[in-house]
Structure 1
Amino acid sequence: MKVIDLTHFISEDMPVYPGTEGPKFKPANSYEVDGFKETLMTMYTHTGTHMDPPAHLFAGRTTLDQFPITQFVGKALVVDCSDLKEGQRITMDSISKNKDKADQAEFILFRLGWDKYWGTEQYFGDYPYIDDEVVDFLIKGNKKGVGLDVIGIDPIPDENLPIHKRLFKENEIVVIENLMNLDLVGSDLFIFCALPLKHIDADGSPIRAIAILD
């Protein structure tokens, strides 16, 4: 068995979505004073490698804590789209290269190679994004989730978030953003685990995402 970490480190200087604050780490207890070390960590629920549920956009829809734990584990496939240039769409052409496996997968993870820009201004650039036909494929295939190695499934300038809305309006699906190391997984199906923090009324959560290969 081989385990690959698909999760970025959380740090005070990490990239965060425009308009939000980065995480803060404040010493709360020390070895010298208290005999143990503890840190107060403050951050948004959509910090770093994280997961969005339908309740992120729609009141009354499913929060992460309302999903069964099985929602966060399953067969996954990485779709390599690293040949796409800035601003290009991810189309069914990319999925069709491995369609049989894509049909079997419960999670579709799109590799754009954007994780190499983590920590630079280019990470917030004009990254490729999925088109309507790909959204239809995810919905009709009853996928548990879709993930990418970019900061958002919608382009940053599009504040209306149409892709999020189409996925979340009526479907029980999660969106995973800011993945990394998808180039290490290969082109076969594998077990994907993306576990959010278990807190009440979760509109999102940082996750520890891993790939488990035979």
Structure 2
Amino acid sequence: MFPDAVSHRMHDAITATDGTLIDLSIGLEDGVPSEPTPPRIDAFDHEAGAERLAATLREQGYDIEAEDFPDGKGLAWEELNVIPHAGTHLDAPSHYGLEVDGEPAKTIEEVPLEWCRGHAVVLDFRWKEAGSEISVAEIEAELADLNHELSPGEIVLIQTGADEYWGCPEYLTEFPGMSAEGTKFLVEQGVRVIGTDAYGFDKPFTAMAERYAETGDEAELWPAHLAGREVEYCQIEKMANLDALPRRTEIPLVAFPITIENGSAGWVRPVALFEDDSERRDT
């Protein structure tokens, strides 16, 4: 539950008709090189829509042709072949393992919506070297610079600057990742959702593989993700536009995922809400 003052500020931001909405998401794009498993999107225009709709109705016993639609045009639509981890998405605890601290891990439809809205704080790690890990000490230092103390239910957003590479292969490699210790530290403060503007929550695949090859240490493989087998949390991956936010703390945020039966993740469109356009800084 939020304190009354925080709840009122959240309500004011959501209901303000002259406020600002900042989209913090990346959408689904056909064949984009920033995804190792890119979506495939087949689009059907209005003429094709008329053909397909007419064929569907004929299968049901009705004598209808495409030209029977006004101007021979039906409805446009798309068919998608895509994993729920493409585009901006929320990983459920079940993505990390079958159990969290001995209890069954929640799938995406079981994630409480209360976790997915609240006030967020942005921690700026754009200065970190790509392939490195974000430590507890570095998180504490960023919070100290903001003079900010985390509260239960707060959402933490990790800014790496990687979204600048969206659409390029470098998006998959040019970012730091969270450490297992850093992840557990945030959850132990009552944080349930942690977001990042990078491709992944851990350091890049190549960095993990190189360190594992050097050391043979299994702890180098997806350590931040697998921390979710010990502490219960969700992560939002592939966010964007964190530099468009007018401030670093007390950011009203909603990030509700689509539900997928027994899903390990769900697409999400995080949106920050501000009462007054004047709050938004030039970027």
Normalising by structure 2, what TM-score? Answer: 0.68
Question: For structure 1, which runs of at least 5 residues remain unmatched after alignment?
Answer: none
CA shift digits 1:99-152 (9 cap, x unpaired): 525446611001111110111121122421223542232121121211111111
| Bigger strand share | 1
Q: Write out the 4+ residue segments of structure 1 that deviate beyond 6 Å after TM superposition.
A: none
Paired amino acid for 2:90:
M
Q: C-alpha distance in 1, partners of 2:75/2:125?
A: 47
Aligned mate of 1:199, from 260, 268, 271: 260
Q: Which residue of 1 aligns with 2:108?
A: 64
Q: Which residue of 1 aligns with 2:239?
A: 179
RMSD: 2.1
For the residue of structure 1 that corresponds to 2:126, the secondary structure is: coil
The reply to whether residue 5 of structure 1 matches residue 53 of structure 2 is no
For the residue of structure 2 that corresponds to 1:84, the secondary structure is: coil
Q: C-alpha distance in 2, partners of 1:161/1:105?
A: 25
Question: For structure 2, which runs of at least 5 residues remain unmatched after alignment?
Answer: 1-18, 54-73, 99-103, 210-220, 276-283
The 1:147–1:51 alpha-carbon spacing in structure 2 relative to 1, beyond 3 Å, is same
Normalising by structure 1, what TM-score? Answer: 0.88
For the residue of structure 1 that corresponds to 2:26, the secondary structure is: coil
Q: Which residue of 1 aligns with 2:269?
A: 208
The 1:112–1:105 alpha-carbon spacing in structure 2 relative to 1, beyond 3 Å, is farther
For the residue of structure 2 that corresponds to 1:208, the secondary structure is: coil
Aligned mate of 2:201, from 153, 161, 168: 153
Q: C-alpha distance in 2, partners of 1:210/1:49?
A: 12
Using CA pairs under 8 Å that are at least 6 residues apart, name the structure with larger relative contact order, 1 or 2. 1
Aligned pairs for 1:68-79 within 5 A: 68-79=112-123
Aligned mate of 2:127, from 76, 80, 83: 83
CA shift digits 1:14-57 (9 cap, x unpaired): 24553x3x112224673442322222112001011111111012
Alignment coverage as a number of residue pairs: 211
**Contact 1:105/1:189, CA 8 A, preserved across alignment:** no
